[in-house]
Every structure is written in C-alpha cells, then in structure tokens.
Chains A and B, each alone.
Chain A
Amino acid sequence: MFLNEFKYFILSTLREKMLIRWLILFPMLLGTMFKLTMSGLSEKEFNFRAIPTAVVLENDDGIFRDVIKQVSEGDDPLLKVTYADSEEAEKLLKDGEVEGIITSGDTVSLTVAGSDMEETVLKAFTDRYLTQEKLIKDAAEKDPASLPALTESLTEELDVLEEKSVTEGVNDRYIIYYYNLLAMVAVCSSVTGLSVVTQNEADQSPLGARKCCSPTPKLISTLAVMLGCWAVGAFCMVTSVTFLAFVLRVGFGSRLGYVYAGGILGSIMGSSLGFMIASLVRGSYEKKNAVAMTVSLGGSFLSGLMVGNIKPILMEKAPIVNTLNPPAVICDCFYYLNIDSGLDRYLGKMAEMLAMTVVFTMIGFVFTRRRKYASL
C-alpha cells in the first residue's frame, strides 16, 4: 500500500506541467540567463585589470612620477600608463585609447570621458593620492624605503578584481547568485508539500475523500505522499544543480557534493514547510497555495534573494527573522559554503535545516490527524 501510494504520487507529480515549469525549467532558464550576464561581467573585469591612462607631467614631481611608476608596473598593475602632453592625452581620450588623463601640475587632477567602473577607479585613485599626498611626500623625504608600502595602500582596495584567497571557498563572487537560485528552488518545493494534505484529506478534494474510503491507513498514505514530496523536491534540486554544474559549468569547485547535499536538504525542508502550511491553513487548495507562495517568496525577499541589502538590515535590526526564516537558512548554508574554508558553519546550517524539517513535518502530522469531518 505504501509503495503503491509512493510510486503513483511520484509518477503523477513528475507529470505535472506546473511543477516541471517552476521547479526544473525555470531554474534552468534563470541559471542560463545568469551565466550569459555574468560571463559578460567577467570579461569586462578582465579588461579592467590595467586601466589605460594618459599621464601628463606639467611639472617635475618626482614623487608622483614614482607613484605612477609603481602602480603601472609589476605582475598586476592598476594602470597602463601612456605619458603624453595635454594635447596628445586629450586626443587619446577622445579616441578611446585611454580611460582618463591624470595631470600633475600645481595639483593632481583627473579628466575622464565617462562614468564606468574604470573611471570610478581612476577617480578613487587620484582622490586617495590627493588625500595622502603630504604623507607620501614626507615619507619620501624622511623614509624612502616606506614609499612602496604607501603606494601599495593607494591601490589596495581599488583593485576589485584582485581576489585575495583568504579561504578555501570557491571565491567566485558571482556564484552566490547561483546559490540564491538554488535556495529559491528549495523554498518553492513548498508547493509540492501542499499535496500531502490536499490529496489525503477528505474535505480537500474528491481524491482525498475517495482515498479516505479505502482501507489504506491515513498515516501510511500521508507518510508515502510526504516521502514522495521529498523525493520529487530532491529530484528537482539534483536536476538544477547538475544543470548548473555540468551544462552551464558553474564553478562549484571541489564542493559540488556539498552543494547537492545542501540543496537536497533545503528542498526537503521546503516540502515540509508546504506540508505544515497546508495542514495549518484551513480552506481550499488555492488558499493554501497562496499562503505557501507568500511565505516562500516573502521569506526569499527577506533573505535577500531578490534585494541584496535586506538581509544585512534585518541582521542588524531583527536577527531573529534571519534565524527563523527558512530561505535565509538555506541561503546562509550556501553562503558559508562559498566563503568559509572549513565546513563548521555550513554543517551548522545543515543541522538547522534538519531541525526545521523535523518541526515542520511534526506540526503537519499533528494537524492532519483528523479522521472525520464536520462537512465536506
């Protein structure tokens, strides 16, 4: 009886077009769009490594010349410098050969033609030089050996491309978008969890009423459908992760196994959340579905899946929301996998997800124990 229920639930659910659309095709499509968009960004950043810049020396400022020399040499230079007079420099800028002109006269000034990332970096560099000019000149006079370190500090935080490998995480700052996508797939599994109630309760559907007339105990059919939901959620998650990792070649690195594990547990938690919601919310399937979608998408919003700075705000103002918000827990799990060299915090979040799954499932079972109905 259990296997019969389990088998046909999975078969019927996997044939549901809505499920295929939202839990399999939608993540694939969104992942592909991410890939296309982020490939462009990476390419742009690669070109950004050494910013073509014209330098005009109107006076003989040796210290400025030294600073420019230091930031334009080495393995990973900030600037690709072309020395020119004002006229030539303006022509280079006009022709697009350089992104900006740094002029050293009475003071150091910057001329740019646009407002892209490169221009912003040049502006930040010149601003910082002007701020620290006196300090640099003093150091050059009193302690010339400290000049390289000071120059380094001018560029240290400007070189946004130069990722410092402080952990053993994947260290691709765009991979977090894929993790967010997987977190969304996981919470959307709550929709499948609704079936546990709507297909087993006599007052929810003709199918539920019909099943309640059979000699299959309600506990068995509920359990079978619950496990079926978990299996379907896990299948959708595995499909999504596999597509991202092997078709789009998203670099999950050596942590792919952990991504699968986190995703599967996340989707199981999502299904259990749906089960709990369906058991608590009285009324039609549409009403339950609306509540499940509100909770899932609302939780996703609060966890920063849609607007990035919501989560830090909540962390400061109401940290309990992040602790209790299932999508936030899934996101954190992936986030820690991304940035931590160890697995402690990742495993901590996995344990949290497991605990939430148990609580959601238990609440679901408690509220679906009814055997007779006052009305159908």
Chain B
Amino acid sequence: MADTVVKIESLVKRYGELIALDHLDLEIKQGEVFGLLGPNGSGKTTTINCLLSLLSYDKGSIEIFGKEMSPVAYDIKKDIGVIMQNVAVYDELTVQENIDYFCGLYITDKQQRAQYVEEAIKFVGLEDFRKFRPKKLSGGLLRRLNIACGIAHKPKLIILDEPTVAVDPQSRNKILEGIEELNRSGATIIYTSHYMEEVEQICTRIAIMDKGRKIAEGTKEELTAMIKNTETIFVSLHELPDDVLKEISALPHIYSTDYTDGTLTAACSGGKHNLIRVLEVLQEHDLHIGRVTTERPTLNDVFLEITGKALRDKEEK
C-alpha cells in the first residue's frame, strides 16, 4: 500500500534462549504518530534496532517506504531520523557543531545544511546554548540536543526511542509539543515509551507490547474499548451500610463495587447514566454525599487487564 511507511511481518529475534521478539507484526501508515508502549524489557528498543537494521533477526521481514530495509539501504536511511534512547553526541563538539555534524551525514549541500541546522536549533529552543558543549547542558537540554541531531535533516520518518527518560517536566512538554509539530509538518513518527500518559497524549495509534509480543493495537479509544471497564465511579461518603452497597452492586452495568476509607468505588462496563443511578440509590437512603468523580479507563487499565500486571509507569512517576 502506498501510504504504508513501515511494515514488519512476523519478526522474531532471539538472544540465546530468550525470545526478545515473538512473531511481531506492525504496520505504520504515513502521517501517524505510532506509539510502542510497554514496560522495560518488553521489546520496544529491540524492535527499533531491528527496524533500523542495526540488529540481526532470526525471522521475518521489514519494509520501509515500500522497500526492504537493510544496512546498506542508504536511500531509505536518508529519510529516517533517529533519536536513540542513549544520547549520542560528541562531548567535545558544541551544540551547533554536533547538529551540523549529524546533519552532514545526510545533507552534503553546505548552504542547505547551515539553514537546516539553524532551524533545528530554533526548533528545540537551544539558541542560547549553541556554543555550549554537551557536558554543560542539563539532562533536558541534552535530550533536546539529541532530538535536534536526529531531525535536523528533515526526515520523513522519525523514530524516537524513549526520548524523555530522565527529563524534567518542562523539557518533556517541550519535547512532546515538538513531536506533534513535526507530525503536523508531515513526518511520520514512531514513538516508544513506557510512560503511558505521553503515549496517550501524542499517539494516534498505539501498539502495546509485552515479552516481545504485541498484545494489543489500535487508537486509544479502540484499546480502552477492548476491556470490560468503561468507567469507574468514586463517591466520598461518611458511611455506607452493607445493604446499600449490595443495592448498588445489583445495578445494571456495575460489575464491581468496594467501600474503603470513606470512598465508594464502582466499576462499570458499558451502559449510560451509571453515575446518576448510583447517586439516586445513595439519595434514597439519605446518605450524605461528598466528592464525586469518574475516570475513563487508561492504557494502564488495558495493560493490567490483558497481562494481569501494571505498567511500571505509575511506580516510576
């Protein structure tokens, strides 16, 4: 298909006895911000390294821009921008020199390169740091430099492998905004992360990975629709008699209830007006109602329901 940018079929990668990628299939369309979400060790970076032909693999095929990817596919590589998980810059070169060097690996025309370098510096907001060497930059600024080095040559496909690891919130927002801007300007993005919120925020389609396998794929809405939970209701109450709790549990579309530490939690699966029905029951029994909130299911809930474990995201944050 013409608009397919990346096509991975039945990719298998083994490290001895360990299966790092287990018959992975992915198809990424032009203009997408495709998220690869999964806990550490789920196979995201291995997927990226195979995609870039850095790693050999045991089985499967990889096509980029409709052509088979290989280490010598220079015509494909020239249109790819890579931002590695580990910052890859020269410590002895300045910010501007580093960006110029990496841009020079793709662009030979000096004038065009100078213009691209300038644009990249402005894009990541490093105008005031152009003469700085990487060691003088904070973690966030260093990540921004890493991104500038990867996108300066204006690639059609940009691969970002955990670009916000160990980055302050301000730089993280700047990076995420930048990715959305790059996408708006026409680039297809592959974004790997184990930060659920980031993926939810910027990705138009998401594949969730665990133990080298793709366990779910779709838009955020499609993914959350895959699981039983559609809504969780939280109501603060001074007291909740057992018979009232039973009554709420018996309401249609409510499949789980709990009252702990003065908060009623009711998990709903489908249906409409679940909150109203819960509140009506509570009012009928003259119970004093405090704070009322509802939560839509997150990707973490999706991961939790499919794998029985949580993404590490919440623990780390």
Contacts and interface: CB of A to CB of B under 8 A. Distances in A.
A214 B150 CA distance: 10
Contact of B87 (A15, A206, A214, A373): A206
A11 B82 contact: no
Interface in B64-118: 71-72, 74-75, 77-78, 80, 82, 84, 86-93, 97, 100-102, 104-106, 108
A5 B105 CA distance: 8
Given A1-B104, A212-B71, A373 B54 contact: yes
B92 A209 contact: no
A372 B105 contact: no
Nearest to A199: B90
Given A207-B88, A214-B77, A373 B56 contact: yes
B274 to A, nearest CB: 49
Interface in A1-57: 1, 4-5, 8, 11-13, 15-16
A134 interface: no
B78 A215 contact: yes
A218 B184 CA distance: 33
A72 B80 CA distance: 87
A211 B54 CA distance: 10
B82 A16 contact: no
A202 interface: yes
A1 B87 CA distance: 22
Contacts of A11: 92-93, 97
Contacts, number: 88
B190 interface: no
A145 interface: no
Contacts of B72: 217, 371
A4 B93 contact: no
A374 interface: yes
Contacts of A205: 88
Interface in A317-376: 371-376
Interface residues of B, number: 33
B53 interface: yes
Question: Mostly helix, strand, loop or mixed at chain B's interface?
Answer: loop
Contact of B74 (A206, A215, A375): A215
A215 to B, nearest CB: 4
A213 interface: yes
A205 B52 CA distance: 16
Contacts of A216: 105-106
Interface in B109-152: 149
A287 interface: no
A188 B277 CA distance: 81
A210 interface: yes
Contacts of A5: 104-105
A8 B93 contact: yes
Given A372-B56, A373-B56, A213 B82 contact: yes
B65 to A, nearest CB: 13
A372 B97 contact: no
Contact of B84 (A1, A12, A16, A209): A209
Nearest to A208: B88
Interface of A: 1, 4-5, 8, 11-13, 15-16, 202, 205-207, 209-218, 371-376
Give 10 closest A-B pairs by Cβ, nearest first: A4-B104, A210-B88, A371-B71, A206-B88, A214-B105, A15-B92, A206-B86, A215-B74, A12-B92, A372-B56
Interface of B: 15, 49, 52-56, 71-72, 74-75, 77-78, 80, 82, 84, 86-93, 97, 100-102, 104-106, 108, 149
